[in-house]
């Protein structure tokens, strides 16, 4: 995979596919982590005299313009972080984009409007997607893929454009792939994976693949209740995927067969209902009252998980342990994060809600070896899948 040093960019128009998919509420960015992660590659190109054209997506506008998903606030924040003005094109490949890109001088930056305003970006039809990719590629001379959070998508800006233009991987993608290789090809053991989040179904493939690799697998969050139910326990009103019970029983059997220490919660915070101020109590994970729902792992589980992480040499964590958005149910997620920080292992936070939780809880980002910008991409890589965006950069 070629890197930035393999491209001669001075005076040339460079299209950078970044991942700027940040949460925005009432026009205000509430977490700029992905923007900050994109800055080094853009800064490198600016310093080398490139004319930088940044493209990215935001949310799911479903192929048509929607003011709710405009990237204009992102352009402003990117400019603040770069310390220079960032022009904003009000469309993706229309008159505004053509005018803005043609007006660029060496070292200047423009951000195009949301890629997903264009139906060709996400089209399943190869010809439709390719036609849009040709227009996008027509704005530039070179392509840099730096949107790691989107490399698992077969989208025009990720997969098709690098087949049209001379290309290289940006610094963020190179760093992310390097980290994932440490989780697959260059492992130090014990290797412990912590998985949380709402649904088992989101992580079926990665669990199946990890059972042949890990020494311990710690399961928390909403997905833990399907595991507890599969063992025959009452889970009350807790989140449950009935259709995954047979699959989960298979995972439990496979873990036992392989000698993998699969660890489930031993106690939970059982709430009366799903709300920040819901009444709750600590109960045994095997005896959740029928009228209660588990919204976080309990104190004994927090200690248990910390002990299972203490001697690890490699840790991958993806998914919160509870409803961390509610302060009352954020303690389990905090405890796991703090156990990673205290560890001497190579620690990777697998993007998505886990990375958001680290920032919301005010934990030091430099306390982890790496915080990924792509939860879905990281999981699919660990699942053993070929990621279209990486395959396109490797040729």
Known binding-site positions for substrate: 19-21, 34, 57-60, 116, 153
Tell me, yes or no, if 385 is annotated catalytic: no
Please report, for residues 219, 227, 368, the alpha-carbon distance to residue 349 in angstroms, rounded to integers and kept in the order given: 15, 23, 7
Q: Which of 149, 319, 322, 352 is catalytic?
A: 352
Instruction: Please enumerate, by residue number, every residue annotated as part of a binding site for ATP.
Output: 203, 294, 325, 351-354
Active-site pick, 12, 13, 17, 34: 34
- CA gap 95, 174 in Å, rounded: 33
Cα-to-chain-centroid distance, residue 385: 16
Task: Please give the Cα distance from 265 to 90 (Å, whole number).
Answer: 49
Q: Is 34 a catalytic residue?
A: yes
Beta bridge partners of 281: 270
- Is residue 331 part of the annotated active site? The answer reads no
Pairing of β 261-263 and β 280-284: unpaired
Is the alpha carbon torsion for 342, 188, 38, 319 positive or negative?
negative
Tell me the binding residues.
19-21, 34, 57-60, 116, 153, 203, 294, 325, 351-354
Cβ neighbour number for residue 47 with a 10 Å cutoff: 10
* Nearest by Cα to 69 from 22, 36, 30: 22
CA 348 – CA 316 distance, rounded (Å):
5
Q: What is the CA radius of gyration of the chain?
A: 22
Contacts of 257 (CB under 8 A, 6+ apart): none
Residue in 390, 325, 11 with CA at minimum distance from that of residue 180: 390
CA-CA-CA-CA torsion for 94, 45, 19, 13, nearest 10 degrees?
20
User: Which contacts of 203-207 are long-range, i.e. CB under 8 A and separated by 24 or more positions?
Assistant: 203/318, 203/319, 203/379, 204/244, 204/247, 205/379, 205/380, 205/383, 205/384, 205/385, 206/379, 206/380, 206/382, 206/383, 207/251
**Do residues 73 and 24 touch, judged by C-beta distance below 8 A?**
yes
Active-site residue 216, yes or no? no
Asked if 54 contacts 78 with a C-beta cutoff of 8 angstroms, the reply is: yes
Q: Which one from 2, 182, 199, 313 is the annotated catalytic residue? A: 199
Spatial contact of 273 and 260, defined as CB atoms under 8 Å apart: no
Which member of 197, 332, 350, 376 is catalytic?
376
- Residue numbers annotated as active site: 34, 199, 352, 376
């Amino acid at each position: 995979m070629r890197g930035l040093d393999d491209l001669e960019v001075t005076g040339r128009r460079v299209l950078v596919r970044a991942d700027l998919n940040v949460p925005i509420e009432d026009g205000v960015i509430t977490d700029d982590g992905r923007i900050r992660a994109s800055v080094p590659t853009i800064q490198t190109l600016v310093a080398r005299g490139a004319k930088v054209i940044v493209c990215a997506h935001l949310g799911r506008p479903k192929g048509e313009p929607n003011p709710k998903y405009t990237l204009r606030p992102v352009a402003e924040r990117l400019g603040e972080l770069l310390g220079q003005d960032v022009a904003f094109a009000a469309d993706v490949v229309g008159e505004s984009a053509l005018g803005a890109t043609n007006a660029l001088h060496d070292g200047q930056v423009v951000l195009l409007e949301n890629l997903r305003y264009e139906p060709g970006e996400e089209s399943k039809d190869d010809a439709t997607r390719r036609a849009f990719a040709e227009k996008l590629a027509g704005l530039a001379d070179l392509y840099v893929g730096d949107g790691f959070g989107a490399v698992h998508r077969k989208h025009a800006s990720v997969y098709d454009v690098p087949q049209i233009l001379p290309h290289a991987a940006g610094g963020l993608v190179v760093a992310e792939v390097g980290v994932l290789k440490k989780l697959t090809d260059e492992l130090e053991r014990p290797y412990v994976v912590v998985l949380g989040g709402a649904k088992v179904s989101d992580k079926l493939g990665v669990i199946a693949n990890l059972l042949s690799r890990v020494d311990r697998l710690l399961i928390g969050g909403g997905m833990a209740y399907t595991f507890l139910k599969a063992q025959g326990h009452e889970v009350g009103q807790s989140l449950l995927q009935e259709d995954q019970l047979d699959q989960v029983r298979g995972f439990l059997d496979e873990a036992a067969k392989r000698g993998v220490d699969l660890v489930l919660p031993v106690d939970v915070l059982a709430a009366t209902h799903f709300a920040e101020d819901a009444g709750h109590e600590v109960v045994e994970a095997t005896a959740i009252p029928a009228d209660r729902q588990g919204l976080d792992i309990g104190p004994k589980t927090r200690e248990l998980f910390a002990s299972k992480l203490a001697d690890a040499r490699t840790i991958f964590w993806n998914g919160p342990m509870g409803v961390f958005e509610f302060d009352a149910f954020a303690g389990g997620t905090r405890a796991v994060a703090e156990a990673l920080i205290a560890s001497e292992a190579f620690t990777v936070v697998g993007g998505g809600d886990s990375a958001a939780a680290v920032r919301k809880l005010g934990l030091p980002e430099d306390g982890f070896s790496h915080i990924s910008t792509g939860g879905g991409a990281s999981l699919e890589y660990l699942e053993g899948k070929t990621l279209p965006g990486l395959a396109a950069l490797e040729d």
